Amino acid sequence: MARTVQWVETRLQTRLRATSLTISSASLYDVMDKVQKTLNHALVRKVTTGTLTLSTASAQSFYYTSAAIGTDCIRPLAVYLSSRTVMETPGWGQIQQYDRNWFNATGTRLETWSPVGHNMIAVYPSVVTADATTYTCVYLQDTTTLNSTADTFNLADDDIDLVLDLCEIVWLSNLRLYPEVKAKVEKFQRTIAPYVGGQ
């Protein structure tokens, strides 16, 4: 069952009272919201399927993910055309390994794509006369904003301890309670290690 903001707030306030600290609900919601977005980004929790739409109007090699996929897209994870997987190139600068003149190359369907920064993708070749202009896209979806006690977290229940730990770290850091922060960060690192391959 998805946890509500009120459920998490009650437990976090209890933790923070142990350090003689109380905080306003409005401030707490903002921290919770940012923590949820951070953990979703790091752990790749809220994944959905949508459409990558390309333009044939010009030889376009770069697209904003918000326009080509959706405003809720944090980053694409996989692209398909029917049963064919369109290969991802990890760094867009490496596309030149396929074609030194890739930026000017045109074709009828994608051969590879690559993330560019945090809000764009590069495609090769540019699709000008297309077999298809829409591709199935699996992507990491942004979490919904938390701003009231009734709102529910998009993260799984198993992740809520991480939410509590990270929220606590943020608030203790704001108060410059560094000895307490150090202990909490060490605990957080041990807790999150299994989720991120022990990094």
Rounded average pLDDT over 153-160: 94
Is residue 87 within 8 Å of residue 124, measured between CB atoms? no
pLDDT tens by residue, 70-125: 999 999 999 999 889 999 999 888 998 888 899 889 988 899 999 999 899 999 99
Q: What is the pTM of this model?
A: 0.86
Query: Which tokens hold the place of 53?
Result: 């739409």
CA 176 to chain centre: 28
pLDDT tens by residue, 12-61: 888 877 555 556 777 888 999 999 999 999 999 999 999 999 988 878 99
d(CA 35, CA 54): 33
Q: Please tell me whether the peptide bond between 125 and the residue prior to it is cis, using omega within 30 degrees of 0.
A: yes
Helices 25-43 and 5-17 cross at an angle (nearest 10°) of 110
